[in-house]
Amino acid sequence: MPIIRLNGGEVSYQVDGEPGKPWLMFSNSLGTDLRMWQAQAEFFKQDFRVLRYDTRGHGGSTIGPAAAAAAAVRHAGHDAGPDVGPAAISAASAGQDSAPEAVRATIAAARAGYDNAPEAVRAAIAAARAGYDNAPEAGAASIAAARAGYDNAPDAVRAAIAAARAGYDNAPEAVRAATAAPAARAGYDNAPDAGPASIAAACAGHDNAPEAVPAASAAARASVRLGHDDAGSDVGLAGRDAGLRSGSDVGREPVSLALLGRDVLALLDALAIERVHFCGLSMGGAIAQWLGIHAPQRLHKLVIANSAPRIGTAQGWQDRSTLVRASGLDAIADGAAGRWFTPAFAEREPRRVTALVVALRAGSPEGYAACCDALAVADLRGQLATIAVPTLLIAGAADPVTTVADATAMREQIPGATLAILDASHISNIEAEAAFNLALREFLHS
């Protein structure tokens, strides 16, 4: 399955249908992946070019090491900051060559600016385990920077820290540009780690590396590995949408609804797709709302299924993320079927229900928890009236999570929106597959 590196993580996606047809994009719910849309992909690929993707932290899409670190730090109760503490320098100077976990931990801790916070280091260890296994350059660079005596040169250490984002191997022109930057001039002329470190520092927006910023930011926006002949390769992101941030921000923030929305825009840019019909369910429906509000120019029509502008409560999501981080996805998997489907469907289709629960258990606990964190603060109430694209709302008559009342209230706020109520619970596209497909087809062709 094709993978695109963007916004500090990797996004997995799949395309079905023939080139030249209008694009129809699907976004999955929390705890599922792009396979939940298999029936829709088969049904609509005759008339549309169907694009499915795994939301960040789900399926084949990673949360990204920087987002994992930020999530772990936030979970530990700390506010992330740009300053670099001496913790990474002292740990590296103490000879942590053979302790990559400790080095990665202090890198993550230093990124958050924790000079003397052991609990932050513990949080960083968890974050490192979640995503820093493939960033040895960062450890080596921070050790080298420390031994070179950069106690008072935070930019040099920040460069090494930012190198943990990695993925710049295929941007030689950016490497060459970055070697002229301050990190290289500070004494790294003959050090192979200096290039990636300088690039990462520039992409992180450090004031003292202006020369590297233009070339590096363009190279860092995306490293694309495309699996379709008509899509090209090594496509850079245009970053032209108001919802997208510059290279100084991407990859350094915890997961949020805005970041998930920008992932969609970045994926569209990388695949050179101007506009799509967009259909999202539950968390995917929240992403759909964000796109309708912030990026209507990228949409033909919008479908918001089994969702709400404020899903659940902040405390409920915080409790769930804490539980999953502490006990894994098994802790919530047993109750998933009851939230997703009616008892009648679970009894009628036990294999389909079991397959989804098994996939949930096999998912990323940190990815799931990070998206819970995002939903805890996501609140689009009061903004729905700005959605101007044609919108279809789909609700499940037996949905205990996002109710018919939620959908009815959304219809009253979104100008011209229509509502279809299906005989289903929360994952209505599976439980009421035929009715879902019919409602979507009629809307798209109207």
Nearest-5° angle of CA 210, CA 87, CA 193?
45
| Sign of the alpha-carbon dihedral angle for 34, 35, 39, 41 | positive
**Cβ proximity of 180 and 212 under 8 Å:** yes
**Cβ proximity of 157 and 106 under 8 Å:** no
299: buried, middle or exposed (CB in 10 Å: 19+, 13-18, 0-12)?
A: buried
**Tokens 């062709």 map to which residue?**
445
Instruction: Report which listed range, 72-86, 161-175, 415-429, is most confident.
Output: 415-429
Checking phi first, is residue 22 left (phi over 0); if not, alpha (psi -120 to 50) or beta?
A: beta
Give the residue, 410 or 151, on which the prediction is more confident.
410
What pLDDT, on a 0 to 100 scale, did the predictor assign at position 1?
84
Q: 16 - beta bridge partners?
A: 50
Distance, CA of 407 to CA of 16 (rounded, Å): 30
Q: What is the pLDDT of residues 406-426, one digit of tens each?
A: 999 999 999 999 999 999 999
Cα-flanking dihedrals φ and ψ of residue 444, to 5°? Answer: -70, -30
What pLDDT, on a 0 to 100 scale, did the predictor assign at position 369?
97
Q: What is the pLDDT of residues 318-342, one digit of tens each?
A: 999 999 999 999 999 999 999 999 9
For residue 362, the tally of other CB atoms under 10 A from its CB is 11
Cα-flanking dihedrals φ and ψ of residue 368, to 5°? Answer: -65, -50
Residue 237 has pLDDT above 70, yes or no: no
Give the residue, 427 or 155, on which the prediction is more confident.
427
pTM of the full predicted structure? 0.66
* pLDDT tier, 43 (very low <50, low <70, confident <90, very high otherwise): very high
Q: What is the DSSP letter of 188?
A: I
Q: Which of 38, 23, 42, 63 is nearest to 260 (CA)?
A: 63
* pLDDT tier, 122 (very low <50, low <70, confident <90, very high otherwise): very low
What pLDDT, on a 0 to 100 scale, did the predictor assign at position 409?
98
Cβ contacts of 103 within 8 Å, gap of 6 or more: 91, 92, 96, 138, 139, 142, 143
Give the residue, 126 or 57, on which the prediction is more confident.
57
Cα-flanking dihedrals φ and ψ of residue 273, to 5°? Answer: -105, 120
Instruction: Report which listed range, 117-131, 133-147, 358-372, is most confident.
Output: 358-372
Task: Indicate the SS3 state at residue 336.
Answer: helix
Edge-to-edge order in the sheet of strand 9-16: 222-225, 3-6, 9-16, 49-53, 23-27, 276-281, 299-305, 391-396, 418-422
What pLDDT, on a 0 to 100 scale, did the predictor assign at position 252?
52
* pLDDT tier, 302 (very low <50, low <70, confident <90, very high otherwise): very high
Give the residue, 162 or 45, on which the prediction is more confident.
45
Residue 38 has pLDDT above 80, yes or no: yes
Q: Which of 172, 273, 264 is nearest to 223 (CA)?
A: 172
Count the helices and strands in the chain (H runs, E runs): 22, 9
The β-bridge relationship of strands 391-396 and 222-225 is unpaired
Q: 261 - beta bridge partners?
A: none
**Tokens 């600016």 map to which residue?**
113
**Cβ proximity of 11 and 263 under 8 Å:** yes
Residue 351 has pLDDT above 80, yes or no: yes
Average pLDDT over residues 433-439: 98
CB contact burial 150-175 (16+ within 10 A = b; e otherwise) = beebbbbbbbbbbbbbbbbeebeebb
pLDDT > 90: percent of the chain: 56
Average the pLDDT over each of 8-22, 127-141, 186-200 and give the range with the smallest value. Answer: 186-200
pLDDT > 70: percent of the chain: 58
Q: What is the pLDDT of residues 359-381, one digit of tens each?
A: 999 999 999 999 999 999 999 99
Cβ contacts of 320 within 8 Å, gap of 6 or more: 332, 369, 372
Distance, CA of 149 to CA of 40 (rounded, Å): 59
Yes or no: domain 3-63+251-445 corresponds to CATH 3.40.50.1820: yes
The whole-chain average pLDDT of the chain stands at 72
Distance, CA of 285 to CA of 303 (rounded, Å): 8
* pLDDT tier, 8 (very low <50, low <70, confident <90, very high otherwise): confident
Give me the residue spans of the domains in the chain.
3-63+251-445, 65-220
Residue 207 has pLDDT above 90, yes or no: no
Average the pLDDT over each of 169-178, 353-362, 409-418 and give the range with the smallest value. Answer: 169-178
What pLDDT, on a 0 to 100 scale, did the predictor assign at position 253?
72
What pLDDT, on a 0 to 100 scale, did the predictor assign at position 79?
37
